[in-house]
Chains A and B, each alone.
Chain A
Amino acid sequence: MSQKKALAALSRREALLLAAGATMVAAGGIVLTGSRANADAKMIDEALVKLIGDTKPVDGKITLDLPQIAENGNTVPIGVSVDSPMTADNYVKAVHLFADGNPTPAVASLYFTPMSGKAEASTRMRMAGTQNVVAVAEMSDGKVFRASQEVKVTIGGCGG
C-alpha cells in the first residue's frame, strides 16, 4: 500500500468514528435519559413511609445545591440546607435524601440536633444516570417538607 493510500484509509476510519459519535448525539442527546431508571417515585414513597410514617410532605423550606449537569456519576457533589432556627423547641430532626434513578433510591439520612446550629450538610453521591434527587425534611413539630431537583449525568467519552 502506498503511503498516500494508507493515509486516506486511515482518515476515513477516523471520520467514521467521529461521525458515529455525532449520530449518537443526534439520536440520544448528550445525557442518559431517565428511561434507564431503576427506582421510581413509588419506591421513594414506600421508603419514606418506613422512615417517617404517613405524613404527606409539602414543598418548601429546603434548598438543594446540585450541579445541573454532572461530569461523572461516580462523584456528584450535593449540598442540602433547611430553613430553621435550630432551637431546642424548633429544629430539623432529619433530612432524607433519595435518587429516583438509582438501583435503590435511598442515598443517606442526616439526623440533626439543636447543637448542629444549622441544618446544613454536604457530601458526594453516586448517580446511575440522569434523574431527580429528592430531599425530605422532618421538623421537630412533626411537619414534613420536600424538594427535588433534576441532575443530568453525562456519558463518558473516553475510557482508560
Chain B
Amino acid sequence: MASNVKPRVRVPGKAAKGEIVEIKTLISHNMESGRRKGKDGKLIPRSIINKFEVTFNGKSVFSSDWQPAISANPYMSIFAKVDESGEFAFKWTDDGGSIYEKTSKITVS
C-alpha cells in the first residue's frame, strides 16, 4: 500500500518550558513482511516502512529502525522535552524509498 499512505500525529498544542510531552503517531501501511504468500502461492515481496524519525526545530529528538515484526498500520508513541516553541517534523521512509511526512506546531510558554 504505497499509495494513499496516511500519517496521523498527536502533539499537544501548548506546553510549559521544559515539559516532557507525549507524542503519538499512527500511519496506514500494510507492512508486508515478505513472508506471506499471495493467492498464486508465491511470496508477496517485502514492503515495509523501515525508518521513522522525529525532529524538533531541525534537531533530532528520536529515530527508529523498523523490521517486518512491526504490525500493520504502525503505531508509535514517544516523548519529547520542549524548551521553546517550534515545530515537530515526522518522517517515515519505506522500502521503496517513498517518504511520508507530517509536521505539528507547539507553543511553549
Contacts and interface: CB of A to CB of B under 8 A. Distances in A.
Interface stretch (B37-45, B77-85, B90-98): B77-85
A104 B70 contact: no
Contacts of A74: 71-72
11 contacts: A108-B65, A110-B62, A112-B62, A113-B62, A115-B56, A115-B59, A116-B81, A118-B79, A121-B76, A121-B77, A123-B70
Contacts of B100: none
Interface of B: 20-21, 33, 35, 56, 59-72, 74-81
Chain A to chain B: the 3 pairs with minimum beta-carbon distance, closest first: A117-B81, A117-B20, A124-B71
B65 A109 contact: yes
A77 B71 CA distance: 9
A108 B63 contact: no
Interface in A53-109: 74-76, 86, 99, 102-104, 106-109
Interface string A124-148: 1111000000000000000000000
B69 A116 contact: no
B75 A126 contact: no
Contacts of A123: 70-71, 74-77
Given A108-B69, A124-B74, 19 more contacts: A75-B71, A106-B69, A107-B69, A113-B59, A115-B56, A115-B59, A115-B81, A116-B61, A116-B79, A116-B80, A118-B81, A122-B77, A123-B74, A124-B71, A124-B75, A126-B33, A126-B69, A126-B70, A127-B69
Contacts of A127: 69
Given A122-B77, A124-B74, A116 B68 contact: no
B77 A126 contact: no
B101 to A, nearest CB: 19
A115 B77 CA distance: 15
A104 B74 CA distance: 18
A6 to B, nearest CB: 37
B54 to A, nearest CB: 9
Contacts of A117: 20-21, 79-81
